Chains A and B, each alone.
Chain A
Amino acid sequence: MIRIEQATKRYGQTCVVDGVTLTLPAGGVTSIIGPNGAGKSTLLAMICRLLGMDGGAISVGGLDVTKTPGDVLARRLSILRQDNSLTARLTVRDLVAFGRYPHSKGRLTGDDARLIEEALAYLDLKPLADRFLDELSGGQRQRAFVAMVLCQDTEYMMFDEPLNNLDIKHAVTMMRLLRRAADELGKTVVVVLHDINFASCHSDRIVAMQDGRVLCQGTPQEIVRPDILEAIYGTSFVVQEIGGKRIATYFE
């Protein structure tokens, strides 16, 4: 369970995350949606202790993220950030192997090697495993980073816009993968998404943020509705039910 109490982040006078109180139960896929600048990524970064808080408390699986040692947390919680640029020259397999660092501290065991190959296979990266990251396209690199997070094999997995740079096929594969991680492996997955239809089709819960606050939360059935989406994004929506899933269009 992720428990967030009055989490606040300020940059000067502007409050980016404004006293958010939120409880995310263990298991399942939770999507965080909202317009640009709503504080989604900031909140995620604070949950993952990448960013200090100006107030409030956050605990993940009962561990206070500001007080628990980093290596303990790294075995419970993993994160994929939005922009992943590297100065180091690494192959895909090298990068994925770093996912085992919290467990093996750089000395890879046979078990680690197996998990690395599994993660590579999961993300369709086997043919690219020995290529250097700087020789890959943005989407391929993105998948390599996701494989690393997968390889970390933690109970809680956070993704900040994992669909960035991905083509349609890989975006769908990615969301299915997150779904499988939650369903088959019992992981707790939290994703920041921009595409509300992906959120609608693949998540158990949607948390909508606006101006640093949680506007509303609920199942896709409860959130993906024209009036609510309009309140979140400030533009008009048409919502249709297709094959039991709610699909929102907003192109007109």
Chain B
Amino acid sequence: MQHDGRRDSRALRTLVLTGGLAALAYILFMTLGAKGNWSFVLPFRATKLAAMLLVAYSIAVSTVLFQTITNNRILTPSIMGFDALYVLIQTCLVFALGAGTVSALDPRAMFVFECTIMILFSCLLYRWLFSSGPRSLHLLMLVGVIFGVFFRSVSGFLQRVIDPNEFIVLQDRLFASFNGVDPSLLGISAVLVAAASLVALRIFHRFDVMALGRDTAIGLGIDHRRTTLAILVIVAVLVSVSTALVGPVTFFGLLVASLAYQILPTSRHRLVLPVAVFIATATLVGGQLVLERIFAFDTALGIIIEFAGGLVFLILLVRGALR
């Protein structure tokens, strides 16, 4: 029991520490190097901060939950091609309707529509992979990589054959950075993320059991198919939000989820999820802060994150192969 207590307090310390780090990053981001009128600076930075928080939260939560249902620590929604799917949907819309029509539509309605398609597609695509018993990790990886390449290639093809003007519009939509987040999307994103989180909260107690694997989870009375499906829908919504706001980031989720699992002495979702979110937000906000204020350039954050994330991915793969 004493041992247990020590472990709990270590977990709690980790939670507070990462939370503190994240809070510090937010405060510094809002205040550091602000010149001139606060009534301009604060709302301007707050929009950016809100976008980053939404993105970091979505990526962290979707990755951890995805790893829970797939029962491994290497696959993430992005490695499995989820965000490539979002790009494909966007491209198909512009291709089919034309940039003029797409731009004229209410971006919020569009967003909800895209999310719906995303959910439908991802359920169709991944349900058969995960609901019917255990499959080999290698098969999953392969399928994911092939789906990803397929989605990207089809998008690439469509982007090449459309009108160059329409391509510019499309590119603008796909590669939004934190500096160019559409404020009208922020509201609807927040609503969607909140809705997904509420659903997640209602089935929260099932997550730890799901992590034990399909057979054990069923043995303990979980409706494995329905829970997998529910989590997939949550993941699809969160990935749509993050991709819509800043475009695809492949390895960020893997990075924060692995870090959270590494520094915590337990894999209870009650602790892993908040710690992953704290790490994600602290990394994203802190990284953006350092790049903007100290190095005075702001496009490279994605590259740095991908570089670090890619390294973690390789290390995990090699270690997994050794075990």
Name A residues whose Cβ lies closer than 8 Å to a Cβ of B: 45, 48-51, 69-75, 78-79, 81, 84-91, 93-94, 98-99, 101-102, 105-107, 130, 149, 152
CB pair A85 B209 closer than 8 Å: no
A71 in contact with B212 given A87-B73, A89-B266 (CB within 8 Å): no
B172 within 8 Å of A by Cβ?
no
CB pair B261 A74 closer than 8 Å: no
Residue in A48, A75, A98 whose CB lies within 8 Å of B212: A98
Q: Contact flags (1/0) for B90-115 with A, using CB distance below 8 Å? A: 00000000000000000000000000
B267 within 8 Å of A by Cβ?
yes
Chain B interface residue count, Cβ-Cβ cutoff 8 angstroms: 28
Task: List residues of chain B with CB within 8 A of the CB of A49.
Answer: 218
- Chain B residue nearest to A94 (CB atoms) is B266
Whole-angstrom distance between the Cβ of B44 and the nearest chain A Cβ: 42
- Chain A residue nearest to B70 (CB atoms) is A87
Whole-angstrom distance between the Cβ of A138 and the nearest chain B Cβ: 14
CB pair B216 A84 closer than 8 Å: yes
B116 within 8 Å of A by Cβ?
no
CB pair A106 B222 closer than 8 Å: no
Whole-angstrom distance between the Cβ of A178 and the nearest chain B Cβ: 17
Whole-angstrom distance between the Cβ of A95 and the nearest chain B Cβ: 8
CB pair B219 A50 closer than 8 Å: yes
Beyond the given pairs A88-B267, A101-B209, 12 more chain A to chain B contacts, judged by CB atoms under 8 angstroms and listed by A's residue number, are: A48-B219, A71-B221, A74-B220, A75-B221, A87-B72, A87-B213, A88-B211, A90-B267, A98-B216, A105-B205, A106-B208, A152-B219
- Chain B residue nearest to A130 (CB atoms) is B3
Task: List residues of chain B with CB within 8 A of the CB of A70.
Answer: 218, 221-224
Whole-angstrom distance between the Cβ of B69 and the nearest chain A Cβ: 11
Q: Sorted from nearest, which 8 A-B pairs have the closest CB atoms?
A: A74-B221, A106-B205, A71-B221, A130-B3, A102-B221, A88-B211, A88-B267, A89-B267
Whole-angstrom distance between the Cβ of A53 and the nearest chain B Cβ: 14
CB pair B221 A50 closer than 8 Å: no
How far, in angstroms, from A48 to B214 measured CA to CA in the complex? 13
Task: List residues of chain B with CB within 8 A of the CB of A72.
Answer: 221
CB pair A87 B211 closer than 8 Å: yes
